[in-house]
Structure 1
Amino acid sequence: MIIVDTGAFLALFNQRDTYHAQAQIAFNNVSEPLISTYPVVTETCYMLTQFASDTASFNFLKCSNLQ
């Protein structure tokens, strides 16, 4: 199980992020389950809206499978 923090999500969902391509590769190669916390989800949505777009924030939530 891998714990994911805001920085990784920002790189993955913000196409202008310096580490976007590396994040895509890393997330595509992970075979273990990923977990995070609600505060990370909240912070990621806020930062994506501020630094990328509302669409990036929406796409993050759509992919997050909150349970």
Structure 2
Amino acid sequence: MRRGVIVDTGPLVAYLSQRDKYHAWTCDRLEHIGFPLLTCEAVLTETCFLIGRNGGDAGNPIEMLNRGWLSILFDLSLESEAISRLMRKYANVFPYRLRTVACYG
């Protein structure tokens, strides 16, 4: 079982949405990877929005955090200058979103 795997919005939405076409596959993968999964606040926010928009419980991603299934090791307030530099540096190459830079920067 691997530890410290970074997870983005897509797998979290698939895991929490039984109607998602990748739900079963994602559940199987996460069973092998194990918890906690590493993420950032931006991913968590986007996941809550997408789950809620699709009729699910928008609080489920937060519940995963409360149960220790997700771990946020990134603090935007401590890294805001570095994130700002990366977003400006790569603005013409790739349209960085905050979640991309925060999780993978």
TM-score bracket relative to the smaller structure: 0.7 to 0.9
Q: For 2:52 and 2:35, how far apart are their aligned partners in 1?
A: 28
Structure possessing the higher radius of gyration over alpha carbons: 2
TM normalised by structure 1 equals 0.82
| Equivalent pair of 1:14/1:52 in contact (CA under 8 Å) | no
| Equivalent pair of 2:12/2:47 in contact (CA under 8 Å) | yes
> Deviation digits for residues 6-58 of structure 1, max 9, x if unmatched?
000000001100000011111111147521010000000001000132x2x22
Residue in structure 2 matched with residue 18 of structure 1 by the alignment: 21
Which has the higher mean CA deviation after the structures are superposed, 15-24 or 32-41? 32-41
- What's the RMSD between the two structures over aligned residues? 1.8
Structure 1's unaligned 5+ residue stretches are none
Q: More helix by proportion, 1 or 2?
A: 1
Name the structure, 1 or 2, with higher relative contact order (CA <8 Å, separation 6+).
1
| Equivalent pair of 2:48/2:60 in contact (CA under 8 Å) | no
Q: Give the share of equivalent positions with the same residue, in percent.
A: 32
Q: How do 1:26-65 residues align onto structure 2 when only pairs under 5 Å count?
A: 26-31=29-34, 33-53=36-56, 55=57, 57-65=58-66
Q: For 2:29 and 2:7, how far apart are their aligned partners in 1?
A: 12
TM normalised by structure 2 equals 0.55
Structure 2's unaligned 5+ residue stretches are 73-105
